[in-house]
Structure 1
Amino acid sequence: MAALGFLPLIDQPHRAPIIITFAPRPDAACDAAALAEALAERGLVIYPSKHWRRDSFRVGVIGAIGEDDIDDLLAAIGDYRAAAGQDRHRAVRHET
């Protein structure tokens, strides 16, 4: 996610094991609601939110999620960023 311009909003010791909250880096602004809409068109769901008044979104990481699902999400976010004119944040593949 860092390669796409997003960082976890909550520090590792305080994160829940079933959901991760991401926010755009200061140099990579992003409208979380618009991102959620674009991802929904591809059958992917994130949960846009505001934490500490920052635009952010949550990704659930529980259930039957495989590497292909992660790759699909990363590719879709990269495609959205490129379409929004932020193509320095290209799609990346999940690495094991």
Structure 2
Amino acid sequence: MSSHREFVLEKEKIDAIKSQGYQINTVTESLDGALIEFKKRDNEEDKELLLLTTADGRKYLSTLVLEQQLEQQGILQQQQPPNEPLQQQQQQQQ
């Protein structure tokens, strides 16, 4: 499998987990990759683990971590889930 395809699969997994209401809790880097622990926003006991092995997957993760930190500080508004259609986003803005 190409490295781009591996990245796309990792990105899809991250987006799917985040769309279920999880947020990034911890990231542990190792030689095997980046192990991400997600926790549900409304239930701290509900966890998901995901191992990222591609460099592009780790870069994508770093942008999500930064966005999440800015949201928590109130600097950035919470983003719509990536799977939500653009029309719904536009309707909500009106």
- TM-score, reference length from structure 1: 0.30
- Pick the structure with greater CA Rg: 2
Greater relative contact order (Cα 8 A, min sep 6): structure 1 or 2? 1
Kindly indicate which of the two structures has a greater share of residues assigned to helix: 2
